[in-house]
Amino acid sequence: MKPGRARRGSVALGLLGVLVLTACGRRNAAEINDVTPSFSVNRTRVPLGSAIETSSSFSTGPQFKKLQQEYRPFVQFLDSQNVVLFAESYAAGPPVVGWEPGKTYTEKRTLFVPVYPYVGDVTVVMGLAPSTGRGERVALKGEDIGLRAYKVAKLELLPQTENIFLVYKEGWHSPEASPQNPSLERTWTKKDALVSFKNPKKDVVIYLEADTNFKAFSQPPVLTLAVGGKTGVTIPIENSEVFLKKIRVKGEHLGSEEWTDLRLALNQSFVPKALGLNQDERELGILVYHLFLGEADKLGEIPADGMLDAAPMPELAKLAPIKPSTSASPAAKAPGKGTGGKRKRNK
């Protein structure tokens, strides 16, 4: 997955959560096009709040009939009552109107499972919906559970306590809701931000999804992600687009202490009011949508493309200590506890 594409086209719970797929809501019978949807995921038992790697495919057969208008593929995750918990839609590449017989069109995406008061079985369905939001969905091959949504997989959601718990310490502002989707929370850091986690003493993978206002910096921003004060990676930020980084850290680099620190340090920060952008007087660094850390051997297969390996960095010793915040820490509300919708910047 390319950085900056991770979240484009997501559909939020606020738009779909009220939809219940029942037999009484089925469309009238229509000619089925020769298209078969399929779905795979790197693990089928998933704790709430964690990241998963998904692959959504549409395979066209020899009798495929060319579609005359543009459609958007969608993937929905339903609870045991067939109520939509969360969903994703995306612009197909190539566009659906350009699909040809005998081809398979696949989209690989990283998804973050929202935190809901629900654990248990989840049914995954897929389909093709009009890009305009009006009109009929395409009738496809497969098990239609209603509204031309086709069953493709089963998952099991586990309690969030199955994850490594993150304690948010200094350098974090309070979480804020997205103006476009109030159910989605994100959190600004200051120039430096600190998180602690209980050391599993084995390899871990860190997922960081964030962005910032690139033009607000006097020089290109560079993020240093440091683990345990000795190991880390540097991440140049090239624009204001959302980026997704996955960092593998070896267990031997986590140290022997019971708790380990994760630090997000920028080479500079900005104050919107001082730049005449708005009346916000806070010191800002990056806007974090999701920060997830999991034990590598429990996460399933993660694509090697785009994975960074943390390495010893002697220069980390030069980073100034983070001063304790005088305000309350937002530890109880971590970034990314919303439902996962389209990420919009508030800058």
Give per-residue pLDDT as tens, 4-58.
333 434 444 333 443 444 444 444 457 999 999 999 999 999 999 999 999 999 9
Residues with Cβ within 8 Å of 231's Cβ and at least 6 positions away in sequence, in order, are 249, 250, 253, 310, 311, 312, 313, 316
pTM of the model: 0.86
pLDDT of 221-239, one tens digit each?
Answer: 999 999 998 899 999 999 9
**pLDDT beyond 80 at 334:** no
Q: Is the predicted pLDDT of residue 331 greater than 90, yes or no? A: no
Model confidence at 323, pLDDT cuts 50, 70, 90, reads confident
Report the distance separating Cα 161 and Cα 203, nearest Å.
19
pLDDT at 152: 98
> Per-residue pLDDT for 344 more than 50?
no
Q: What is the pLDDT of residue 326?
A: 53
Interval 264-319: pLDDT, tens: 999 999 999 999 999 999 999 999 999 999 999 999 999 988 899 999 998 887 78
Q: Say which amino acid occupies 158.
A: L
pLDDT tens figures, 152-187: 999 999 999 999 999 999 999 999 988 777 778 899
User: What's the rounded Cα separation, in Å, for the pair 334 and 167?
Assistant: 8
What's the gap between Cα 39 and its chain centre?
17
What does the pLDDT read at residue 304?
A: 85
145 pLDDT band (50/70/90 cuts)?
very high
Q: Domains in the chain, please, with CATH? A: 10-160 (2.60.40.1930), 164-318 (2.60.120.260)
